[in-house]
Amino acid sequence: MTAQWFIDASYFAVAVVFILGLKAMSSPVTARKGIVWAGLAMIVATLVTFATPGMQNFDLMILAIVLGGALAWWSGRVVRMTDMPQMVAIYNGMGGGAAAAIAALEFARGEVHGTVVTTLAVLGALIGSVAFSGSCIAFAKLQGIMKKAWRLPAQNVVNIVLALAALVLGGTIVAAGEVKGELIVAFFILALLLGAILTSPIGGADMPVVISLLNAFTGLAVGFEGYVLGNPALIVAGIVVGASGTLLTQLMAKAMNRPISNVLFTPISGAASGGGEAIEGSMKEFSALDAASVMRYASKVVIVPGYGMAVAGAQHKVWEMAQLLEEGGVEVAFAIHPVAGRMPGHMNVLLAEAGVPYDKIFDLEEINAEFPQADVALVIGANDVVNPVARTDKTSPIYGMPILNVDQAHNVIVVKRGKGAGYSGIENALFYKDNCRMLYGSAQQAIAEVITHIKALEA
């Protein structure tokens, strides 16, 4: 009784710390502290699990922890910031896969009994499998292994058929007194296939939303399997992750003015970007000297980072340039769109790594009213989130998506590697506007040249 009381009390304390850690992560100022709290709570939960009566295979558990921990530590140390979205995606997928594997093992052992427990085991297995295969596809897209969106001719019909078939097999497992191995295998194959096919057509500005949604799926799957195992720590951690991931997904979908159903069933991708009105005008090129001169003698400059900055690893150069401008009396601010980059908060992480103060970083709602007063809006590798057709062209796939109103600045400078369309394949009308100039080249190289010219103007 005393040992069980200690275990239950420890799990309760861990649950409280998990929630406090998640709360702390809501602010950039306290996020690091929240991560440390949650990590320590997970260590405690793991140690307490070893004390659970009836626990076996300690050698295998320790080996798995050592191998997994070492791999995670190494990958976390060597991963580049530009590769962070795909690492988040694959780690998230591992959580969903682990939840599905727990259910598969429990079914194979025949240790799942009772309608409620079996139902939760099936739901956890289904959601976890979808999260695993979907996250693997997201990883492949972000890593460049899958070069383009892949969409079946009757994509939505296939999605519905696979989902219904998986649910029917899941219901059969719940209703059956003794589950056959063939039924379990068929169920997991359908669930994994559903996740892969559901995610394969998604790209562009929808990708951060999908990563967040798959994260929520993983949390729910872990929570359900925690109930199956009777482990309170898994239940609380899973449900907290599932709930927070669901809220984040809803907030991001709202920021794009796109229902989650549209993200899943009518995604923004190059394959879907054939619509849209013809764009008139031509792109007008700027030199690094021109860009440096315009910004150095401006009163206010708003910098809009995008994935192009991440790919070039230019965030440190961008901050160096911003500091030079501020030393010359220019007011500088950073504008972040909720779905800029390839994962939630991608641009915020990059700017924080470069040392940009939090009070200089503004989200869409905070900064949009400032663009008409800005002398220069500097766009570095962003595309869909600054495309004005989202406001004007009802035939465009991104119509209705809130954007950063950079086109309303007096001057717009766009740093871009080439003249092609962005990740979603949609042509950007901003680049053709009279007040917009293109500075071609890698963001790292282009900003370095601008810095050189700003220093020369100061001399």
For the annotated catalytic residues, the residue numbers are: 384
Among residues 139, 125, 233, the alpha carbon closest in space to that of 184 is found at: 125
* Phi, psi of 155, rounded to the nearest 5 degrees: -55, -50
Kind of pairing between the strands at 331-336 and 376-380? unpaired
Angle at 140 between CA 138 and CA 144, to 5 degrees: 120
**Which tokens belong to 415?**
């740093």
**Which tokens belong to 298?**
């401006």
Q: Is there a contact between 330 and 450 (Cβ–Cβ < 8 Å)?
A: no
Q: Is there a contact between 317 and 391 (Cβ–Cβ < 8 Å)?
A: no
Identify the DSSP state of 345.
T
One-letter amino acid at 255 equals A
Q: Is there a contact between 376 and 412 (Cβ–Cβ < 8 Å)?
A: yes
Q: Which residues does residue 414 pair with via DSSP β-bridges, in sequence order?
A: 379, 438
Using CA atoms, how far residue 412 sits from 47, 97, 153, 261, 367, in Å, is 56, 45, 40, 34, 15
Contacts of 51 (CB under 8 A, 6+ apart): 3, 6, 7
Residues 458 and 324: their CA atoms lie apart, in Å, by 9
